[in-house]
Amino acid sequence: TALDALDRDAAAALADELRPVVRGLSRAYYTDGESLVGDTQYDRLYHALRAVEAAHPDLVTPDSPTHRVGGAPLDAFRKVEHPVPLLSLGNAFDVDDLRAWVDRVLKGLEGVLAEGERPTFVAELKIDGLALALTYRDGVLERAATRGNGRVGEDVTPNVRTVRAIPLRLAAGAPASVEVRGEAYMARSTFEALNERLVVAGEKTLANPRNGAVGSLRQLDPTVTASRGLAFYSYGIGPVEGDGVPERQSAVLDWLQSLGIPTGPERKTFDDVNALAAFCEEWAHHRDTLDYEIDGVVVKVDRLDYQEVLGFRATEPRWAIAFKFPAREATTRLLDIEHNV
Ligand code: NAD
């Protein structure tokens, strides 16, 4: 690639220029809940830095923002160490990227798949909110933490207790202990109503529903969180003690749902990669029909034993990928052009 051809000095200069920019943008985004640039622009800068580092691995610094997940936990909250880190996801920006990822999965499962076997994939909508880890002991909500930097998050238990979508007690059959992972988010309609209220009250409005979710959860006063009408859906589990955990991601979600945890709607399993790609592209076009913001589709290998074989690289699992939608602005413009001709 063009980056391989860059001589080392030029690559080092480029990395030095990109690193503080990416670090500053991600600090604003994760720690302060503020987007200083659009996501697509951020993704471009982030991936440019990653490409330079991939072409010149000796330029990787231990504090590079590409080796981190999320942002630092705020001092205002008690810090919580996650027993198993909450990771980020690799990105696919188009169907070709998605197919390339499927090929890597097939390669990683060589010798594991039976003759002619195609692994099943589960596709889930990627709701844009903030990640939470909820620990239930003996079926009772014991602790809720934000993802933070992936290893250490913020204890937001009193705030989360006010979120009606999150049960304080699981249904019968819950294991001795389970960490439920998922996304807290603000519905679009809730967000609009809240902004109207803030305008009337003469207060600062929120930039977008994600911002609304982050700001509403990281409140020192839980009654503020309670008034914000947050929603939640789960997309998986962390550590579990006890039996009953199913062997597939899709079945884990059904199991969580049966325990009373809301799970991501609209999920679907696929054996056929063309159908999987079509699902991702369809949602890119229909995202506005939903009452919540989605910024992509997360595709995961369904069998958990296969996930284990594939494992992780740096901050991302190899068994999952986020198919990211193109920036909304660009989509609108394209649609406008199509309508005008
Ligand atoms: P990610 O894109 O790497 O995805 C991981 C997160 O996806 C999880 O933590 C979880 O919260 C969420 N998620 C939602 N649905 C899920 C599902 N079904 N299964 C699994 N996970 C699911 O997220 P990230 O690590 O927070 O960072 C990247 C994102 O943040 C990008 O979209 C990037 O554009 C944006 N960002 C923007 C700026 C900016 O300045 N605009 C700065 C930093 C990051």
CATH number at residue 313: 3.30.470.30
- Token digits for 322? 């986020």
Residues 138 and 211 in one domain: yes
Considering only CA atoms, which residue is closest to atom 35 of ligand 1? 39
> pLDDT higher for 70 or 337?
70
CA 194 to chain centre: 24
Residue 72 within any structural domain of the chain: no
Query: What is each CA distance from 31 to 17, 53, 157, 281, in whole angstroms?
Result: 22, 25, 18, 31
Residues 220 and 103 in one domain: yes
Q: For residue 176, what pLDDT is reported?
A: 96
pLDDT band for 2, please (50, 70, 90 cuts). low
Residue 238 within any structural domain of the chain: yes
Residues 86 and 138 in one domain: yes
18 lines ligand 1 (CB under 6 A): no
Query: What is each CA distance from 85 to 46, 170, 233, 237, 242, in whole angstroms?
Result: 21, 23, 19, 12, 20
Q: For residue 333, what pLDDT is reported?
A: 42
Q: For residue 329, what pLDDT is reported?
A: 56
268 noted as active-site residue: no
CA dihedral 160, 37, 315, 27 (to 10 degrees): -60
Inform me whether the pLDDT recorded for 330 exceeds 60: no
CA 93 to ligand 1 centroid distance, Å: 14
| Low-confidence winner among 17-21, 152-156, 163-167, 332-336 (lowest mean pLDDT) | 332-336
CA 172 to ligand 1 centroid distance, Å: 33
Residue 129 within any structural domain of the chain: yes
Backbone angles phi, psi at 316, to 5 degrees: -135, 145
Question: Does 115 belong to an annotated binding site?
Answer: no
Considering only CA atoms, which residue is closest to atom 13 of ligand 1? 126
CA 88 to ligand 1 centroid distance, Å: 7
Cα–Cα distance, 34 to 315 (Å, whole number): 22
119 lines ligand 1 (CB under 6 A): no
| Low-confidence winner among 70-79, 228-237, 332-341 (lowest mean pLDDT) | 332-341
97 lines ligand 1 (CB under 6 A): no
CA 128 to ligand 1 centroid distance, Å: 7
> Domain range holding 20?
2-67
Considering only CA atoms, which residue is closest to atom 25 of ligand 1? 88
- What mean pLDDT is reported for the chain? 91
Q: Which of 47, 67, 87 is the last residue of a domain?
A: 67
34 lines ligand 1 (CB under 6 A): no
Residues 334 and 275 in one domain: yes
235 lines ligand 1 (CB under 6 A): yes
Q: For residue 72, what pLDDT is reported?
A: 76
Q: Which of 29, 45, 67 is the last residue of a domain?
A: 67
Residues 205 and 303 in one domain: yes
Residues 255 and 317 in one domain: yes
Residue 205 within any structural domain of the chain: yes
Q: For residue 220, what pLDDT is reported?
A: 87
Query: What is each CA distance from 106 to 89, 99, 122, 255, 294, in whole angstroms?
Result: 18, 10, 15, 27, 28
Residue 16 within any structural domain of the chain: yes
Residues 167 and 112 in one domain: yes
Q: Which atom of ligand 1 is nearest to the CA of 316?
A: 3
pLDDT band for 4, please (50, 70, 90 cuts). low
233 lines ligand 1 (CB under 6 A): no
Question: Does 89 belong to an annotated binding site?
Answer: yes
The pick from 25, 49, 89 for probing ligand 1's pocket by mutation, whose C-beta has the most ligand atoms within 8 angstroms, reads 89
- Token digits for 324? 């990211």
Question: Does 249 belong to an annotated binding site?
Answer: no
Residues 242 and 272 in one domain: yes
Residue 13 within any structural domain of the chain: yes
Residue 41 within any structural domain of the chain: yes
Choose, from 79, 107, 126, 268, the residue flagged as catalytic. 126
The number of domains in the chain is 2
pLDDT band for 70, please (50, 70, 90 cuts). confident
Inform me whether the pLDDT recorded for 181 exceeds 50: yes
SS3 108: helix
Per-residue b or e along 299-324, where b marks 16 or more CB atoms closer than 10 Å to that residue's CB? bbbbbbebbebbeeeebbbbbbbbbb
Q: Which of 45, 67, 89 is the last residue of a domain?
A: 67
Q: Which atom of ligand 1 is nearest to the CA of 129?
A: 11
Inform me whether the pLDDT recorded for 1 exceeds 70: no
Q: For residue 341, what pLDDT is reported?
A: 34
73-117 residue pLDDT tens: 777 899 999 999 999 999 999 999 999 999 999 999 999 999 999
Considering only CA atoms, which residue is closest to atom 22 of ligand 1? 126
268-316 residue pLDDT tens: 999 999 999 999 999 999 999 999 999 999 999 999 999 999 999 988 9
Inform me whether the pLDDT recorded for 331 exceeds 50: no
Residues 204 and 280 in one domain: yes
Question: Does 183 belong to an annotated binding site?
Answer: yes
Residues 52 and 103 in one domain: no
Residues 180 and 217 in one domain: yes
Residues 151 and 205 in one domain: yes
20-61 residue pLDDT tens: 999 999 988 887 778 899 888 999 999 999 999 989 989 888
CATH number (domain holding residue 10): 1.10.287.610
Residue 20 within any structural domain of the chain: yes
